[in-house]
Chains A and B, each alone.
Chain A
Amino acid sequence: MALLEVNDIHTYYGNIHALKGVSFEVDTGEIIALIGSNGAGKTTTLRTISGLMEPREGAVYYEDEDISNTRADLLVSKGISMVPEGRGVFAKLTVEENLDMGAYIRRDSGIKDDLAGAFELFPRLEERKKQVAGTLSGGEQQMLAIARALMSKPRLLLLDEPSMGLAPVLVDGVFDTIQRIANEGVTILLVEQNAHMALQIADRGYVLQSGEVAISDTAANLQQNETVQKTYLGID
């Protein structure tokens, strides 16, 4: 049974038809890559799943429940967490307060341990925990955004271009981290323009083109696919 099933969704910005019938599945424990060029609809897909937008047609199922019209804040308690495009850290809140907000829905006593866990994963954040997030570097903000998303203890983590705008030396670190999170049992839907790195850690992948799924295959096959190589991996 699929953890997440996206079934023929159509999503609009006013009259702009951004998603024209997107369908795919994510099974428990997988890392799924969603690749595509600018404006293909990757962000819109994640926004529709996370409840920030509603599909006009089609449906999103999570654990077999139709969540198409469920509010974003309620989906967090169901186990869906998203790192938005551009990171979206709260610049005026401290690092620690940002992490507290990640655990907003939780009332259990494990929050302290998980905070320690987050600092273990990203020691840089511990050094800066009293600092407001706006003063962090881009890479540190990305770590914070990921750590914050994990504080809600998600079962499904949606990541929107986590490597965007990062220096090449940091990109490897981000993908390592994603792999480690997946090893902990979190299912991952990863949107990336860096198809090369995304397909290296993914199990399967989907290629979005103009609001439609153009290709779907295992990550290994996608890496060998001629169109993918040409368009997204820069191999001629």
Chain B
Amino acid sequence: MFKWKTDEFSWVDFTIDILRILIVLGVVVGAWNTLSSGRISFAQWVNLFAAGLSQGSIYALIALGYTLVYGILLMINFAHGEVFMAGAFSTVFLAEALNRTGFLNEQPLLAILLMIMFAGLVSMTVAILLERVAYRPLRGSPRLVPLITAIGASFFLQYTFRGLYGSGFKAYPQVRILQGAISIGDINIPVVQVFVFGSALVLMLGLYWLVERTRVGKAMRAVSENKEVARLMGIDIDWVIMFTFGVGGFLAGSAGVINGMFRPQGVNFFMGFIPGIKAFTAAVLGGIGNIPGAMLGGLFLGVIEAIGPNLVLAGLGIPGANQLKDVIAFTMLVLVLIFRPQGILGERLSEQKA
């Protein structure tokens, strides 16, 4: 950890060590102040934690898309936030229609399942097209090239969807059975949070099963390990890469609907940007390319975002701590990249290794 004993003194290491100490001190002092003041009750902490887990499971679903693609192509698909937006935005119209006919509240589970499927398919299509049109022709070119293309594709998708659906904000209709809360003593957990966490869990287990147990999942792992040998097995690697983009897209699209149940407001063409970066942070946090890492990273980020401002920032006397959520996420990204670029579980985000 600390490099006091190295022969050569390095200003970079020194600064990093000072930073480390300051961060640890800040966290300890802030948390101590908050906890000793007793400003937040135990039940409130539990609520914050539960809300964090829900938000985190949405990050996790999106983060899986980054990690799957990185695992197979060593490339970061920075347009993935827009893949999420495509499904979320398109499905809001389906949700409105289902609400108008009354189906949404008569058969809520079926309606939500339908919405998740629809959003998943829309995002999957967008992700596959993105791969075919934007990334495949650039395979084998320097790593900066697809990166720049991804940013371009991001804008392209945002403005395409603005063109399609307009620039106004939309909101997902409320589903009646998801209102209300489950009470255990003085702890109230909103039903919608249970739904969010539960459905994300089902999707993640599904992904785990796909990757670990099925023929195509094994092929995905084989291609990610060695493309040339995978071809010698008769695996069509272009198809497997496309499939991988599709799976990541499906998860992002379903996350769009789940997010719409959790935070109905704020659906528009730009909605993918922040969750996209947050999920990328989560993927890096867990170790990019590592599937359980993305799941853990997402949950971890969600919980830190929910608890961190109240615990640490408020304790340090920083005003309006709750509005600093996003700052927490991006600070985490920078800190992880400085201190532990390989993330919690994964491998180093490196220049080479191909």
Check B215 for interface membership: any CB of A closer than 8 A: yes
Q: Cβ of B221 and Cβ of A92 under 8 Å apart?
A: yes
Q: Cβ of A52 and Cβ of B228 under 8 Å apart?
A: yes
Which of the segments B87-95, B234-242, B303-311, B332-340 contacts the partner chain?
B234-242
Please measure, in the bound complex, the distance between the C-alpha atom of A52 and the C-alpha atom of B232, giving whole angstroms.
Answer: 8
Neighbouring B residues of A100 by C-beta, 8 Å? 215, 218
A166, chain B: closest CB distance, angstroms: 19
How many residues of A are in contact with the other chain, CB < 8 A?
Answer: 26
Please measure, in the bound complex, the distance between the C-alpha atom of A134 and the C-alpha atom of B225, giving whole angstroms.
Answer: 12
Neighbouring B residues of A73 by C-beta, 8 Å? 231-237
Check B116 for interface membership: any CB of A closer than 8 A: no
Q: Which residue of B lies closest to A52 (CB)?
A: B228
Check A93 for interface membership: any CB of B closer than 8 A: yes
Q: Which of A147-178 contact B (CB under 8 A)?
A: 148-149, 152
Q: Cβ of B222 and Cβ of A101 under 8 Å apart?
A: yes
B226's partner among A82, A88, A102, A152 (CB-CB below 8 A) is A88
Please measure, in the bound complex, the distance between the C-alpha atom of A50 and the C-alpha atom of B231, giving whole angstroms.
Answer: 10
Please measure, in the bound complex, the distance between the C-alpha atom of A84 and the C-alpha atom of B231, giving whole angstroms.
Answer: 11
Q: Cβ of A88 and Cβ of B234 under 8 Å apart?
A: no
A93's partner among B218, B228, B231 (CB-CB below 8 A) is B218
- Knowing A84-B232, A88-B226 are in contact, say whether A104-B221 is a contact too (CB < 8 A): no
Task: Give the interface centre of B219, B233, B236 by most chain A CB atoms within 10 Å.
Answer: B233
A47, chain B: closest CB distance, angstroms: 9
Please measure, in the bound complex, the distance between the C-alpha atom of A71 and the C-alpha atom of B231, giving whole angstroms.
Answer: 8
A129, chain B: closest CB distance, angstroms: 14
Check B229 for interface membership: any CB of A closer than 8 A: yes
Check A97 for interface membership: any CB of B closer than 8 A: yes
Q: Which of A195-213 contact B (CB under 8 A)?
A: none
Q: Cβ of A72 and Cβ of B225 under 8 Å apart?
A: no
Please measure, in the bound complex, the distance between the C-alpha atom of A90 and the C-alpha atom of B225, giving whole angstroms.
Answer: 7
Check A77 for interface membership: any CB of B closer than 8 A: yes
Q: Mark A103-118, 1 if CB is under 8 A from B, else 0.
A: 0110000000000000
Q: Cβ of A101 and Cβ of B228 under 8 Å apart?
A: no
Q: Which of A63-100 contact B (CB under 8 A)?
A: 71-74, 76-77, 81-82, 84, 88, 90-93, 97, 100
Q: Mark B209-253, 1 if CB is under 8 A from A, else 0.
A: 000000100110110011011111111110000000000000000
Please measure, in the bound complex, the distance between the C-alpha atom of A64 and the C-alpha atom of B178, giving whole angstroms.
Answer: 66
Please measure, in the bound complex, the distance between the C-alpha atom of A108 and the C-alpha atom of B231, giving whole angstroms.
Answer: 20
Neighbouring B residues of A104 by C-beta, 8 Å? 215, 219, 233-235
Please measure, in the bound complex, the distance between the C-alpha atom of A76 and the C-alpha atom of B228, giving whole angstroms.
Answer: 13
B291, chain A: closest CB distance, angstroms: 12
Q: Which residue of B lies closest to A88 (CB)?
A: B229
Q: Cβ of A97 and Cβ of B218 under 8 Å apart?
A: yes
Question: Considering the complex of A and B, which 3 residue pairs feature the smallest CB-CB distances, nearest first?
Answer: A76-B234, A105-B234, A88-B229
Please measure, in the bound complex, the distance between the C-alpha atom of A51 and the C-alpha atom of B231, giving whole angstroms.
Answer: 9
Please measure, in the bound complex, the distance between the C-alpha atom of A82 and the C-alpha atom of B232, giving whole angstroms.
Answer: 7
Chain A to chain B contacts (Cβ below 8 Å), 26 pairs: A52-B231, A71-B231, A72-B231, A73-B232, A73-B233, A73-B235, A73-B237, A74-B234, A76-B234, A77-B234, A82-B232, A84-B229, A84-B232, A88-B228, A88-B229, A90-B221, A92-B221, A92-B225, A93-B218, A97-B218, A101-B218, A101-B219, A101-B222, A101-B230, A101-B235, A104-B235
Neighbouring A residues of B228 by C-beta, 8 Å? 52, 84, 88
Neighbouring B residues of A102 by C-beta, 8 Å? 233
Q: Which residue of B lies closest to A101 (CB)?
A: B233
- Knowing A50-B232, A73-B234, A77-B234 are in contact, say whether A93-B225 is a contact too (CB < 8 A): yes
Q: Mark B189-223, 1 if CB is under 8 A from A, else 0.
A: 00000000000000000000000000100110110
Please measure, in the bound complex, the distance between the C-alpha atom of A92 and the C-alpha atom of B220, giving whole angstroms.
Answer: 12
Please measure, in the bound complex, the distance between the C-alpha atom of A51 and the C-alpha atom of B235, giving whole angstroms.
Answer: 13
Q: Which residue of B lies closest to A97 (CB)?
A: B218
Q: Which of A30-54 contact B (CB under 8 A)?
A: 50-52
Please measure, in the bound complex, the distance between the C-alpha atom of A71 and the C-alpha atom of B239, giving whole angstroms.
Answer: 13
Q: Cβ of A90 and Cβ of B232 under 8 Å apart?
A: no
Q: Cβ of B219 and Cβ of A76 under 8 Å apart?
A: no
Please measure, in the bound complex, the distance between the C-alpha atom of A88 and the C-alpha atom of B233, giving whole angstroms.
Answer: 11
Q: Mark B309-330, 1 if CB is under 8 A from A, else 0.
A: 0000000000000000000000
B232's partner among A81, A92, A97 (CB-CB below 8 A) is A81
B287, chain A: closest CB distance, angstroms: 14
Please measure, in the bound complex, the distance between the C-alpha atom of A152 and the C-alpha atom of B229, giving whole angstroms.
Answer: 14
A95, chain B: closest CB distance, angstroms: 13
Neighbouring B residues of A152 by C-beta, 8 Å? 233-234
Given contacts A73-B231, A104-B215, 7 further A-B contacts (CB under 8 A): A74-B234, A76-B232, A88-B232, A97-B221, A101-B218, A104-B235, A105-B234
